[in-house]
Amino acid sequence: MADYTFLTVHRCSPDAMAAALAAVVGVTAAEVDVADDSDGHRDWAAVVLCDRMSLAGDLALSWEVHVSADLVPAPPAEAEAALRLAARLGTTVLHPADGVRPSAYWAATPDGIRTRARVLDGDTGGDDRPVLTVDAVEKPVGQLPRARVERILEAGRDG
């Protein structure tokens, strides 16, 4: 079983998300269910379940992904899945760093760069979407032009 948490710079359509997740974990798009909080219908028997939530600020979407434990071969680790999604969707994909501060993330860019990132929570926007700001990255990320480039000490050891 794999559980992934991703944040993306661009707002991908549910169909694009399903196709990308399918390619990453090795199933068909029909075996992936992507839903917003407001969706009433879910395919609970899907091999991959993805909940998406709109964000405001530097990031557009939050993804919570659950892959069935029955999937063989096993899906890739979160860091590898993020790199594959970034390349396939053309957007920077962030995932949390393990065992450290909640602000510590790793960013994977469409061109294969991996770098540490610091994500800060803000208030909700006028439409109640959470506001997330990418405060800093260790390497420049073109899709995050407002992020400072600096060493991030709290980012953790994983990746």
pLDDT tens track, the chain, 159 positions = 689 999 999 999 999 999 999 999 999 999 999 998 666 678 888 999 999 999 999 999 999 999 999 899 999 999 999 999 999 999 999 999 986 678 999 999 999 999 999 999 987 656 788 999 999 999 999 999 999 999 987 644 544
Mean of the per-residue pLDDT values for the chain? Answer: 91
Q: What is the pLDDT of residue 100?
A: 64
Phi, psi of 148 (to 5 degrees): -70, 145
Phi, psi of 28 (to 5 degrees): -90, 160
Per DSSP, helices labelled H in 26-151 are 78-89
**Other C-beta atoms lying within 10 Å of the C-beta of residue 90:** 15
